[in-house]
A = this chain, B = another copy of it.
Amino acid sequence: MSGSIYGTLFRISTWGESHGAGLGVVVDGCPAGLPLTEEDIQKYLDRRKPGQNRFATPRKEEDAVEILSGVFEGRTTGTPISMLVYNQSQRSKDYSEIASYYRPGHADYTYDEKYGFRDYRGGGRSSGRETIGRVAAGAVACKLLQAIGVEILTYSRKIGGIEISDDRFDKEEIGRNPVCMPDAQAAKQVEALLEEKLKEHDSVGGVIECRISGLPSGIGEPVFEKLSANLGKAVLSIGAVKGFELGDGFAAADAFGSANNDSFYYEKDGAIKKRSNHGGGIYGGISDGSEIWFRAAVKPTPSIAKLQKTVNKAGENIEVSIKGRHDPIIVPRAVVVVESMAALTLADMLLVSMSARLDAVVSFFKDKR
């Protein structure tokens, strides 16, 4: 398998290369009756679109999505939703140089090792453009989640070592600055750093944070299909992500049990709540009804203009400078990709969880008769 299919009930199948005819996704298993338009999808794709500001690739790509199936009279029909984005900038560029060597930090070498050859144009399938299918499908998942009452908030927590302050956290600010930070002050600092790194022909990485609210308790399966494990896989499957942590994550490893445990209490209305949320809203792999929060570590953009050592296919040790202007930072554009992967995972696990209890199953089918 080439591994481009994801999910159990809400399943997606993505395809496409950086410089092929286009990219797309088929969503198989979206419940029937969900209102869906191309605009719903485009909104999400626009969040990952290149050329939006000076820290992102200046390639002007429309990335306009078309829905080819599965929607009738404005609503999903329950059959596969095929979405397609044609590539605009398939210039008849000369790729012979890039074909001749292995870019450090990229998958050129491993693709050749696995498949014997590779589509070297712009990275082929290993390009960041691969995420177009994820985001288009993620937009559908988000619409489904909203109908159920689940909201996802995703943003840059840290870039180039500069972290947001939780005290200055302002949700509205995320869309206002080019680095997707909920803290205007940190964003300013990051912008200054990025200017500097652009000049140095270097790049930076960062941490993306995601918060999920409104998720009912009981979602996620024990043992291997824990909600946490599936969120982890989903996020770690994104190209540049090198780490994942739920709740306190790696900090929990340094904590003591008495401080790390989240204690329960009854609210006045009889609802059970927790005094803290170190665990990130998931216990035993199952959601507890509180906010879920996790973080993803994103490595610095591997494509840099700075001179790097590598090897070519002629058997020589060489030095290269990756041409073309590249994003000095992936993080802001990856925010919507992380959100999409979280949404796809949640949509799937919500549907899967419907069969957990006999009483709910019996009453579901009784209602149907």
Contacts and interface: CB of A to CB of B under 8 A. Distances in A.
A197 interface: yes
A255 interface: yes
B233 A242 contact: no
Nearest to A320: B263
- Report how many copies the assembly holds: 4
A232 B244 contact: yes
Given A262-B105, A302-B257, A79 B284 contact: no
B3 A224 contact: yes
A76 B125 CA distance: 12
A311 interface: yes
A69 B350 contact: no
Contact of A218 (B13, B16, B113, B158): B113
Given A33-B358, A242-B279, A244-B244, 20 more contacts: A13-B26, A13-B28, A13-B80, A16-B68, A22-B68, A24-B68, A31-B360, A69-B125, A72-B117, A78-B114, A110-B282, A148-B362, A229-B233, A229-B236, A232-B233, A236-B246, A242-B253, A243-B252, A250-B297, A266-B316
A299 B82 contact: no
Given A82-B24, A317-B265, A356-B115, A242 B236 contact: no
A260 B299 contact: yes
Given A242-B245, A246-B243, A254-B160, A284 B111 contact: yes
Interface string A233-250: 110110100111111111
Interface stretch (A49-57, A179-187, A204-212): A204-212
